[in-house]
């Protein structure tokens, strides 16, 4: 395996690595340029198959496929595996954008389009570039990172707004309350910024919300 700390390793005289970075961009664009409408699904890699959240992710992914959307995940286990599984078994396009990590992630077997990335930032571009919506299932730091990167890009008008749907009111309501009662009340954000995020529980409502803003 290559050195783990890839960004730290960009030193003078190692500009050749920029060609590898460019190569990952090219590979991603070539693989996904004709994907069509798609949703990026995020959530914990640590969720077990017997967890109800796993089954919910499968159901949501399958429902999106039945409504003519491809499904994109981070390609790993847990909720990512569940979403890829649901999409593949529903007969749809199931994309796994795997990140090469030393300990935590191995690609799941359910993605029928599989790409491997060494660089998180290139992988993030692929998630947002080809997504008509972000579906945010319960997760940890990685999930929060993807969520708030998209929030920031929408807030600063670097990308066109699209639905950012937090799945699971019992899991996410505390975060939204904190955003409202700390960030908003202390004027760290504007009132309209709260509208970037929506909490939903029902799979049909989730899919219909995305369909309202996407032309199939």
Three-class HEC string of 53-94 = HHHHHHHHHHHHHHCCCEEEECCCCCHHHHHHHHHHHCCCCE
Q: Which CATH class is domain 17-209?
A: alpha beta
**pTM as predicted:** 0.91
Can you tell me whether residue 6 is helix, strand or coil?
A: coil
Over the chain (216 residues), the average pLDDT of each successive run of 10 is 57 74 95 97 96 98 98 97 98 95 79 94 97 98 97 96 97 97 96 96 97 86
Residue 165's H or E segment, with its range, is strand 164-167
- 134 φ, ψ to 5°? -110, 130
pLDDT score recorded for residue 43: 98
Q: What pLDDT, on the 0 to 100 scale, is given for residue 17?
A: 79
pLDDT at 1: 47
* pLDDT in the model for residue 92: 98
For the chain, the domains span 17-209
Cα gap 42→182, rounded to integer Å:
25
Residue 142 in contact with residue 174, Cβ under 8 Å? no
Residue 75: partners with Cβ closer than 8 Å, 6 or more residues away: 84, 95, 96, 97, 98, 99, 105, 107, 108, 111, 114, 115, 116
pLDDT score, position 3? 55
**pLDDT, position 190:** 96
**DSSP class per residue in 101-162:** -SSS----S--SEEEEES-HHHHHHHHHHT-SEEEE-S--HHHHHHHHHHHHHHHTTSS---
């Amino acid at each position: 395996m290559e050195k783990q700390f890839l960004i730290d390793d960009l030193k003078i005289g190692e500009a050749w690595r920029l060609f590898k970075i460019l190569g990952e961009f090219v590979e991603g664009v070539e693989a996904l340029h004709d994907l069509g409408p798609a949703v990026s699904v995020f959530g914990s890699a640590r969720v077990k198959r017997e967890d109800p959240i796993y089954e919910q992710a499968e159901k949501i992914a399958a429902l999106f496929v039945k409504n003519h959307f491809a499904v994109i995940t981070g390609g790993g286990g847990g909720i990512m595996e569940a979403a890829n599984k649901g999409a593949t078994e529903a007969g749809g396009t199931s994309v796994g954008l795997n990140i090469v990590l030393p300990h935590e992630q191995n690609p799941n077997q359910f993605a029928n389009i599989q790409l491997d990335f060494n660089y998180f930032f290139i992988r993030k571009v692929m998630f947002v570039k080809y997504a008509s919506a972000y579906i945010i299932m319960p997760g940890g730091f990685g999930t929060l990172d993807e969520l708030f990167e998209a929030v920031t890009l929408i807030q600063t008008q670097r990308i066109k707004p699209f639905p950012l749907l937090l799945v699971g009111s019992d899991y996410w309501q505390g975060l939204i309350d904190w955003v409202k009662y700390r960030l908003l009340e202390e004027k760290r954000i504007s009132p309209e910024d709260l509208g970037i995020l929506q909490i939903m529980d029902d799979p049909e409502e989730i899919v219909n919300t995305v369909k309202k803003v996407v032309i199939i």
